[in-house]
Structure 1
Amino acid sequence: MAAETAARRIDLPAGTIEGRAADGVAVFRGVPYAAAPFGENRFRAPQPVEPWDGIRDATVFGATSPQTPYPGPLGAILPTSEIAGTDILNLAVWAPDEDPAGSHPVFVWIHGGGLTRGANSLDAYDGSRFAEQGVVVVAVNYRLGAEGFSVLDDAPRNLGLADLRAALEWVRENIAAFGGDPADVTVGGQSAGGALTAALLAMPDAETLFARTIVQSGPLDAQPESEARRVTDAMAKHLGIAATREAFAAVTPERLLEAQEHVLAGGSPLTSGPSFTLTIGGELVPENPRDALRSGVSANLPLLIGTTTEEYRLWFVPTGRLRKISKLMLLGARVAKRMPSSLVATFRDARPGARPGEILGAIVTELILRAPAQDVADGRLTEGAATWIFEFAWRSPVESADGDVLGAAHAVEIPFVFDNAETTDAAPLVGEAPPRSLARSMHASWLTFIRSGRADWTEWDATRPVRVFDGADDPIALAPRDDERRALLEWEAGRRAASGTSRGAAEVPA
């Protein structure tokens, strides 16, 4: 991005900040929206920002939530940003460098990372391209892992989500100083950020904080407390302490992170094993977000939602798991989850010559991400809500050590959305020569939605239109692979009926 040259100051209620500007974009980093969540604030709801004297430096990114790099080959594709400090509840702003009295649309971005990793300081989330085109971008840091999503006996649930709500309240009160319109806010996120975005949309008072949402590859299901507390209980057992706020707060963040990594070792968002999740219950997540959105909660707020075609390849290709999954393992997964052979056959018939890992990956992608997204779109259609569905189908040519390509994997679309695909930092995910036309197309579509609340393709209706970003024609497909969706939803409905459980994602061992 362009070199920053000129100082820019903004007066906020908590104090004055100074950022930098160049080539028409002003950037402010490390801006606190809540007090540091440590010391007496640890495992508490976010507290107000403490005012400061003088001018606060906003030229460098703020501290990140405690985290570790992605392990093994995955770390070469998904970078980690670790910045020391306790003021982790901060945000970064990219704004048009002009008279702040202007009123620009605002795009609030929530990063992904499995609720355990990620930061607004990652180059992929640089909002300069949006700001150059008249959008104020706000990228938010929030509490991750045990700090943000533990289920403790005497502490609030979903603290990371509470942080995001506090950030949106900050945006409502302060974004006008950056030239943004507090009544014209779009909230978007990818992966875990998409899940959190969906949970925010499912809040009964969502419309008081934002006008529309974008969910990219976000799981839509939260879990009941009995399931959501599995990681917390396992960590407490590993540490030899009670699962209480007092006991966890007495453990240093570093030691808590070590225990977290021990408990989560070997798991992933698409495979079995313990993982952090949103917890159903309380004011922030009164019911499962998928159920709430399907029933019409926030039906007055437009939604753009979608997935990549081969989500699973992010976890299956770099790790070599794609080649390790055998026919016997696929059979074992089917039997363990009581999937009918006809369901697996439906997926296999559409992929002649596919490996067992590709068949299993396609089923898991449909089960956890694609089918729930369309399920919500169907429910919103019944309620008269405006929804647009997309699918990212361009296949990244990046190869693993054993020669498999990354393909249209989870997260590959991000550099195209932000129009950062040609940067050096994007190369490990999209290769050395990503299609420029695809970045122009996706970025323009997101801009259109952010500006108008309507996508530039057909709204979801009975014909099931899906905008397919393939890097060629980017066509609209009607009901693509609908036989797979119907087969899976029929099985899922039968499974729920047999167990008496509500709608929710099922883990598939791999």
Structure 2
Amino acid sequence: MTIPGPVQSAEPVVRTAGGAVRGRTEDGLAVFRGIPFAQPPVGDARFAAPRRPRPWDGIREAYAFGPPPPQDFGAAGTAGPPDVPGGDDWLTVNVWTPAPDPAAHRPVMVWIYGGAYKLGHSGNPAYDARRIAADGDLVVVTLNYRVGMEGFAHIEDAPANRGLLDQVAALVWVQENIAAFGGDPDQVTIFGESAGAGSVAALLAMPRAAGLFRRAVAQSVPGTFFSTELAADIGTALAAELGLSPTVADLSGVAPDQLVKAGQALAPKMPGNVARWGRAAPTVTPYAPVVDGEFLPVTPWQALASGAARDIELMTGHNRDENRLFTMMAGKLGQIGEDRASTALRLYAPGGESAYRAAFPDATANDLYEHVQTDWLFAMPSLHLAEAQLAGGGRAHVYELTWPAPAFGGALGACHALDVPLLFGTFQADLAQLQFGGAAPSEEALALSARFRAAWTAFARTGDPGWPAYDAQRHLVRVFDAEPTVAPYPEETSRRLWEGHEFTALPLVGPEA
């Protein structure tokens, strides 16, 4: 379906619980940006659970995305791109709707971005939701949540998982307000990729999120959830980069950009601390959801297997060659040797290094490295989430993306985050520039992109994305390639290697190095 052309009309106004907001009509949709769902988490609200937004008088202009939360924008520094707005009103939502008609009762999709729990914001052009809203004739919401030390670091006297609590607050806002935008609060689907999928998995397990959504899509779920002990130890190391203790008293007076720098300073030191931080160390990501026993009582896999989300319809999957994005970004694509492959296999492979080598006898060292990294971090956590849902009496649909990114002669394969531009149709934004080489998408890519959106929006509307639910006998999944098929799960060798493996909270494993 093509996006309708611009329609000249009066700017749409919607009354929310906090006050009236004025959006814009763009490409046939009413679009509202930067609506606060919580107070700015600064001052005495810093490191606290989100607080309800203060109401306003008159009509608030909802034309621009809210400022992103403080985050690690990478080598360019902490300021981010020049068009990113400033300010501390980080906790905002954005809405795309075909019409803000309270009688419409359209399904609602709520996007949760990824970014290793240390970066990401809803104003990223990669998450322009107009094609999803238009093609699916539904309402799409995107949201900001705190990342990095603000949202996920263990800080004494502060609640754990503040970034997840922000997401819960945004979902409460959806329940209270989305009907005025034409959405049905009883037909909410949350969806997210990478750390966003980890967040979706966590929300499935969080008592505070119960009743706030009906369906969930988890794209490339990371298996990294921290134990309280590991989170506390890494939190201490983060604060030590600033010469401080990991307490609200010590950190509340530190400027947000300095906390970002603490994370940037610690990350490259992490791989040398495997003896203490185990599997978490090589990820160079000092943040993850914490199984704190309160907001997140157990891991998502434990929660789903016990039936905690049996009434939630679930779709989950991953990309075949997830890890190639990271080896490419490290300048090592196709260049991993025996020593590094053996180290990874010893650290991650269930059954040890010999099990993987026996299972993939013809694989090169580089291929073994890519296999085990993809399997432990994304592929098997995603598959096991579906299997846990089945064990708990629920239903799940599974997919795998095998279509290779066009850049680098296809060497990236179906790498991490390739599903994002395919889903949103945003081929010139963010990582898609790298994955597509900056070129216009081919007809094949556009056709696959349309299939992605059709499946996701059908699932949001009916709970059926267009292929059979996963079961423990046939293991049928949708394989997204140039010609999508339904087939037994393609990674059967890995599935068997990881059968029976439990994704537990990552522990603090040893004495200080």
Question: Considering the TM-score relative to the shorter chain, is it more than 0.5?
Answer: yes
Amino acid corresponding to residue 412 of structure 2 in structure 1: L
Are 1:313 and 2:324 matched, yes or no? Answer: yes
Are 1:149 and 2:144 matched, yes or no? Answer: no
1:40-93 deviation digits (Å, cap 9, x = unpaired) = 100111011011222212111111001232338xx9xx9897431100000111
Separation in 2, partners of 1:347, 1:437 = 35
Deviation at 1:373, TM superposition (A): 2.3
Amino acid corresponding to residue 131 of structure 1 in structure 2: A
Structure-1 residue corresponding to 2:22? 18
Q: Is the 8 A contact 1:90 1:141 kept in 2?
A: yes
Q: Is the 8 A contact 1:67 1:82 kept in 2?
A: no
**Greater mean deviation of Cα atoms: 368-377 or 8-17:** 368-377
Structure-2 residue corresponding to 1:225? 228
Q: Is the 8 A contact 1:322 1:358 kept in 2?
A: no
Deviation at 1:100, TM superposition (A): 3.6
Structure-1 residue corresponding to 2:424? 418
Separation in 1, partners of 2:369, 2:187 = 41
Instruction: Show the 5 A alignment for 1:385-404.
Output: 385-399=394-408
Separation in 2, partners of 1:195, 1:37 = 23
Match of 1:230, SS state, is: helix
Distance verdict in 2 for CA 1:267–1:166, change over 3 Å? same
Structure-1 residue corresponding to 2:73? 69
Match of 1:284, SS state, is: coil
Structure-1 residue corresponding to 2:495? 485
**Greater mean deviation of Cα atoms: 422-431 or 147-156:** 422-431
Q: Is the 8 A contact 2:66 2:92 kept in 1?
A: yes
Match of 1:62, SS state, is: coil
Are 1:180 and 2:183 matched, yes or no? Answer: yes
Equivalent of 2:214 in 198, 211, 214: 211
Separation in 2, partners of 1:333, 1:161 = 30
Deviation at 1:221, TM superposition (A): 4.7
Equivalent of 1:345 in 357, 380, 402: 357
Q: Is the 8 A contact 2:221 2:381 kept in 1?
A: no
Separation in 1, partners of 2:243, 2:74 = 26
Q: Is the 8 A contact 1:81 1:121 kept in 2?
A: no
Structure-1 residue corresponding to 2:105? 103
Distance verdict in 2 for CA 1:259–1:5, change over 3 Å? farther
Are 1:379 and 2:385 matched, yes or no? Answer: no
Q: Is the 8 A contact 2:161 2:290 kept in 1?
A: yes
Instruction: Show the 5 A alignment for 1:427-446.
Output: 427-431=433-437, 432=439, 433-434=441-442, 435-446=445-456
Separation in 2, partners of 1:40, 1:100 = 37
Structure-1 residue corresponding to 2:38? 34
Distance verdict in 2 for CA 1:59–1:153, change over 3 Å? same
Amino acid corresponding to residue 375 of structure 2 in structure 1: E
**Greater mean deviation of Cα atoms: 312-321 or 300-309:** 312-321
Match of 1:131, SS state, is: helix
Separation in 2, partners of 1:193, 1:383 = 23
Q: Is the 8 A contact 1:21 1:97 kept in 2?
A: no
Match of 2:290, SS state, is: coil
Are 1:369 and 2:373 matched, yes or no? Answer: no
Match of 1:321, SS state, is: coil
Instruction: Show the 5 A alignment for 1:274-353.
Output: 274-335=285-346, 340-346=352-358, 348-349=360-361, 352=362
Match of 1:71, SS state, is: helix
Match of 2:23, SS state, is: strand
Distance verdict in 2 for CA 1:274–1:441, change over 3 Å? closer
Structure-2 residue corresponding to 1:245? 248
**Greater mean deviation of Cα atoms: 212-221 or 389-398:** 212-221
Deviation at 1:28, TM superposition (A): 0.4
Distance verdict in 2 for CA 1:4–1:221, change over 3 Å? farther
In the alignment, structure 2 segments of 5+ residues that lack a partner are 272-279, 509-513
Match of 2:282, SS state, is: coil
Separation in 1, partners of 2:36, 2:209 = 22
Deviation at 1:506, TM superposition (A): 9.3
Q: Is the 8 A contact 1:412 1:430 kept in 2?
A: no
Q: Is the 8 A contact 2:208 2:295 kept in 1?
A: no
1:408-429 deviation digits (Å, cap 9, x = unpaired) = 1110011111233477984433
**Greater mean deviation of Cα atoms: 10-19 or 133-142:** 10-19
Distance verdict in 2 for CA 1:445–1:285, change over 3 Å? same
When the two structures are aligned, how many residues end up with a matched partner? 488
Separation in 2, partners of 1:438, 1:332 = 37
Distance verdict in 2 for CA 1:347–1:363, change over 3 Å? farther
Deviation at 1:481, TM superposition (A): 2.5
Q: Is the 8 A contact 2:344 2:373 kept in 1?
A: no
Q: Is the 8 A contact 1:307 1:370 kept in 2?
A: yes
Amino acid corresponding to residue 476 of structure 1 in structure 2: V
Deviation at 1:322, TM superposition (A): 2.9
**Greater mean deviation of Cα atoms: 206-215 or 185-194:** 206-215
Q: Is the 8 A contact 1:154 1:244 kept in 2?
A: yes
**Greater mean deviation of Cα atoms: 254-263 or 203-212:** 203-212
Separation in 2, partners of 1:91, 1:336 = 40
Q: Scaled by the length of structure 1, what TM-score is found? A: 0.89
Identity %: 34
In the alignment, structure 1 segments of 5+ residues that lack a partner are 494-501
Q: Scaled by the length of structure 2, what TM-score is found? A: 0.88
Q: Is the 8 A contact 2:308 2:392 kept in 1?
A: no
Distance verdict in 2 for CA 1:305–1:157, change over 3 Å? same
Instruction: Show the 5 A alignment for 1:119-134.
Output: 119-132=121-134, 133-134=136-137
1:189-232 deviation digits (Å, cap 9, x = unpaired) = 00000001111011246441010100001224522111123332
Q: Is the 8 A contact 1:221 1:289 kept in 2?
A: no
Deviation at 1:294, TM superposition (A): 2.4
Separation in 1, partners of 2:20, 2:221 = 36
